[in-house]
Amino acid sequence: MPFRAGSRHVYPPTRPRCAVRQSRKSRRQRSARSLAMKGIDLNGVRHAVIVAPHSDDETIAAFHLICALRRRGARVDIVVVTDGSASHRNSASWPKPRLVAERRRETMRAMAMAGVPRDRIEFLGLPDGGLRSLDRRQIETALVGLRQRPEPDLLIVPSVFDDHPDHRVVARLCERAWPKCVKRLHYIVWPDRQNEARPSYCDLAIAGCPLRKRLVMRRYRTQTGIITDDPAGFSLMPPMLTRMCRSHEHFAS
């Protein structure tokens, strides 16, 4: 899940002092908002589909939710849209085929810990970092790929407000792939600070064990530091993991 702002490869970017004050204010707003946040009603959900732009988004966004669905006996299908090859483009020891194969294994291992079997996971293999350049034929193929499982009663999909371009493209594809009557939860992995501060953007939450989620996130070894021969490569730094592995996952209905 590489994130690049322009040609930069740093996330989150360094913020000026005024932004830190703003951040304190946002924290207060967020904590006030979390008091008003509702739990997710999973009654009647028998089949959910989680759409992840990159291998690891399924866990970052919805590990607690997937565990809760599986505990209730619901079927959970995962669709990973891109091949994940852009996180380390310059590694000699992890050329593209090896990286792509390992990222798939990481998702399968993590989802096994949430109770999702391998045959419930689909990898569409679209170009990581290149979704904005898809042609019409590739878009149609992607839509077919998203719809190939039976229609679910719950969709868990990226938000159009995510700061990552691939996530926004996948959000738009998901809008087209299923009828509007299918219930949806939208998630943000990379918040843009303006949207993060937007009142009531996320109105639903589900709780889970943060330590377990952190343990699972560490299984994404290619994204947490095992690749050391690509200085421009992506790695989830400890502060990011802390933010991503909190006790609650948040969604917009």
**Which single residue brings its beta carbon nearest to Zn ion?**
1
Note whether 1 binds Zn ion by CB under 5 A: yes
* 24: Cα within 13 Å, side-chain hemisphere: 5
Q: Where are the beta strands (DSSP E) in the chain?
A: 38-39, 47-52, 75-82, 121-126, 154-158, 183-187, 204-207, 248-251
Give how many residues touch Zn ion by CB under 5 A.
4
Q: How far is the CB of 116 from Zn ion (least distance, A)?
A: 18
Residue pair 176/227 in contact by the 8 Å Cβ criterion: no
Q: How far is the CB of 82 from Zn ion (least distance, A)?
A: 8
Comparison of 33 and 164: residue with beta carbon closer to Zn ion:
164
Comparison of 74 and 108: residue with beta carbon closer to Zn ion:
108
- Ordered strands of the 38-39 beta sheet: 38-39, 204-207, 248-251
Comparison of 56 and 77: residue with beta carbon closer to Zn ion:
56
Residue pair 203/252 in contact by the 8 Å Cβ criterion: yes
Q: Which of 48, 64, 73 is nearest to 206 (CA)?
A: 64
Q: Between residue 38 and residue 77, which ones bind Zn ion under the rule CB under 5 A?
A: 53-54, 57
Q: How far is the CB of 51 from Zn ion (least distance, A)?
A: 11
Note whether 208 binds Zn ion by CB under 5 A: no
Q: How far is the CB of 164 from Zn ion (least distance, A)?
A: 6
Note whether 129 binds Zn ion by CB under 5 A: no
Q: Which residues bind Zn ion (CB under 5 A)?
A: 1, 53-54, 57
